[in-house]
Chains A and B, each alone.
Chain A
């Protein structure tokens, strides 16, 4: 998101709002950590609270963290290379691992079965074919 005022506070709000909507909760325990990416400055990584016990991963409990995304203010050089004056325009960027947030939301302990197409797994974690997230209907039906 690029405009003349978008700052890191907005970035934080967007990510917090997203996580609340995605996880369907009123509040999410998130941790912003300074980090490094070549395309953003300042940069941060975001972790989400979880527990990892007995081969299960659970959202919203425990005192472990799962890193879910990298983000930051778009690097002035990136703006410049796009023909945008970094002293006038600014903005933020982020990238999220959708497999990670799916693991957290649905309590999937392992990433590998995502690509195995085992019908038992697909049926266990799957959805009804006509489940359709919408603004009016919400994320889950």
Chain B
């Protein structure tokens, strides 16, 4: 336990230093923001097009789907904020030998790498996600009280942690494959499935989204809870899922570390 707390403290110290270096390039920052807005627009326009041609998708109306998308976006923001650097492990840290330095530090390598994340886009995700979530809640006449807000803040954070665990688990492949970022990116793309109600998919994809890559806990179950739909209460299992997946992630990392051979550079 003491070990975990120490690692946590170190994480926040290093993370703060990393965020400060963001403000360095202003034009890049602006282009980053603009490009992200356009990127977000893709899905939003697609949802608009869908509902131009239909009133509901399996009983979910426009604002309900928007709520799914909003919750997912906030969670993706956390993922971007905390775990962005994980993508660099294979192609950067291990390839050119920087990983040796990190392995020698007195903190767990996961902590060292996570704290290096500095993503401009994360704040965009979180802000856009919050706007969409609040907007759809208002339109759906759902009471926004302290309880709802706490639930949203908590569940999206847990959602981010769950996706982070998936990324961290897949990151273990970096010890063998240098293109590991592509593998992680592919699995991450699965989040697209959670932009829409689970009921539109076939059983195979439902199974994957609940048990293998549990993206359903990031948006579908929390939104169902907020909307008083079936299966909403399952959202409260999410913290357990997060702990379970992180347990697996850390175990796998420690196992991978034992097999790590430096590239020699």
Q: Do A and B come from one complex?
A: no
Chain B interface (Cβ < 8 Å from any Cβ of A) = none
Chain A interface (Cβ < 8 Å from any Cβ of B) = none
